[in-house]
Structure 1
Amino acid sequence: MESRNQRLTCGADLYLRHHEDGSHSFPNWSRAYAWYMLGLARTLRVLHEYDELARMPQAIRVRINELKEELVRIADVIIGHQSEQGLWYVYVDEPQTGVKTSGSAAIAASLAIGVQLGILGDSSLAVSKRARNALTSYLTEDGFLHGVAQNNKAGEELQRSGYRVLSQMATGLAAQLDAALN
């Protein structure tokens, strides 16, 4: 987690990839936030459960507290990018790229998990609930989530194009949000 933080964040920017030459790609892509924040929140959940069973050494506690601080920091950044509709854009700081439901579901789930753990406050829960309500209009009758920007392997151009699909992955992320809110 510390390595991901060092390699993928630069101020308020978050990148999906850090390349061997030191360059980055997919700046402020919503699913980069999704993977980063879900990984952070779920890791903190496991560490929290472990800590209840056995006392951790102080040096480890310091590092865990740094991870908690990072979740608070990145939550503050992403909450500032939530659209009026309640969702996030494909590139969170570029409204012209359109809404991305998969990233929105995962971001909201990670915020709700942070609230469950007592790391994030009730305002983060309200943000999660707002996103969940907005996602309702993107659910098909058979439960699939649409409004998903296609696979990132085709590059940033496809992400910015407005092309959207149904996605089982996105449906799973929406289910994670529902579970975190219940």
Structure 2
Amino acid sequence: MTVFCGSSEAVDTEYFTAVEQLGRALAEKDIEVIYGGGNVGLMGALARSVLHHGGKVTGIIPRKIYENVAHIELSELIIVDTMHERKAKMYESGDAFIALPGGIGTLEELTEIFTWYQLEYHNKPIGLLNTKNYYAPFYTMLEHMVSESFLHKRYLEPLLKEDNPSKLVERIQTHTVPLMNKWKQNDIGDRI
């Protein structure tokens, strides 16, 4: 499971609690976690929780960031040269994705993997841990894209929004995502 995580330490403790619960749920289901390799914010909290509950965590981190915030107690730490290489390895390594609440980097990772689904590079589930209704504005924007015909609603299929960490993991494990072909289907049509 590739997880996109925020690195801020200044966020509400409710986010940390949810991420610790997610780490436990992943470890208990023996799901290896692939993430950005940092030891700060929700990123560090997730890794610590998975490891504490006996799970396996692989971090993938660019050399430039490694020197400042690398989590050195992981099951495996892969050091790469660039952010692009990091993202490619993270995307290739996971059978599914989870986006935790986070900042612009998390949003960028989420939207890139969502775009890759739309372009038929994968058909993997994308879970959103919706603690404190964090992803409601994102969904509102997606619905607006659909209503304005910039996005077909069928591309929302891989997205699973859930505020309960254990339920999110269960939904991801049982969700089948159809592979779409953007270029052979009419992108304009049914709206939300």
One fold, TM greater than 0.5? Answer: no
Task: Report the TM-score when normalising by structure 1.
Answer: 0.29
